[in-house]
Amino acid sequence: MEKNVITFIIPSINRESLSKCIDSLINQTNPNWKCIIIYDGVDGKIFNDHRIKTIRIDKIGSKSYTHGMSGLVRNEGLKLCKTEWVGFLDDDDTLHSEYVNKLFSKYSEFDFIIWRMIFPNGLIIPRNNNISFGNVGISIAYKNKFDNLFFDSNRDGEDFDFINKLLLLSNKYTITEETYYNVNH
């Protein structure tokens, strides 16, 4: 397990926005990150950075599935992750350049972090530190120490379900003061 490194798992259908998403990783002030892009049934761009791995999947195990089931796609990335920390990023979203630095300098004692997300209309979640359906998103980072922690479903709220699993495993978490996850859709 690589210490003080985070792997971002990005499910992608190869949208144009993916390049901007990857630029937000490349522009991190702390270079201790890796990325696994999982192309969901499509051919995708290869990025010229040794920290970025790309794979393509067309089915999960022996089962065909409907493309766009990001939870199941993220699970494929989780199986490959070998770093102390895991984070998630959608291919149309971006991170603030201080995300990785702040993770290791301010939040490393926690088992998981819920980063505040900011939407294009200015809405920030979670509001009032409330962890409830519709008030959290996929802006999670957690220590890769929980066995068999995977997404169960592919419906609205899969990120909320995942956070609830983390809450059952540890109460050593925080919601960030910073809004370092930018939702761009």
Q: Note the pLDDT tens digit of each residue in 119-172.
A: 999 999 999 899 999 899 999 999 999 988 999 866 678 899 999 999 999 999
Instruction: Spell out where the chain has E strands.
Output: 2-12, 33-40, 52-57, 83-88, 94-95, 112-114, 117-118, 124-125, 140-143, 173-175, 181-182
Give 84-119 pLDDT, tens digit per residue: 999 999 999 999 999 999 999 999 999 999 999 999
Given its phi and psi angles, is residue 134 left (phi above 0), alpha (psi -120 to 50 degrees) or beta?
left
What is the Cα–Cα distance from 77 to 31, expressed in whole angstroms? Answer: 20
What is the Cα–Cα distance from 172 to 16, expressed in whole angstroms? Answer: 37
> What's the pLDDT score for residue 63?
57
Sheet architecture: strand order including 52-57: 52-57, 33-40, 2-12, 83-88, 140-143, 112-114, 173-175
89 contacts 9 by C-beta, under 8 angstroms:
yes
Mean pLDDT of 53-79: 77
Phi, psi of 75 (to 5 degrees): -55, -35
> What's the pLDDT score for residue 156?
73
Q: Which residues pair with 10 in a beta bridge?
A: 37
Where in the chain are the domains? 6-182
Task: Write down how long the chain is.
Answer: 185
Give 60-69 pLDDT, tens digit per residue: 665 555 555 6
58 confidence band (pLDDT: 50, 70, 90): confident
70 confidence band (pLDDT: 50, 70, 90): confident
> What's the pLDDT score for residue 116?
96
31 confidence band (pLDDT: 50, 70, 90): very high
> What's the pLDDT score for residue 123?
94
Task: Let me know the angle formed at the C-alpha of 139 by 160 and 172, rounded to the nearest 5 degrees.
Answer: 75
Domain range 6-182, CATH class: alpha beta
Mean pLDDT of 30-39: 97
Phi, psi of 136 (to 5 degrees): -140, 165
What is the Cα–Cα distance from 143 to 66, expressed in whole angstroms? Answer: 30
Given a cut of 90, is residue 77 above it in pLDDT?
yes
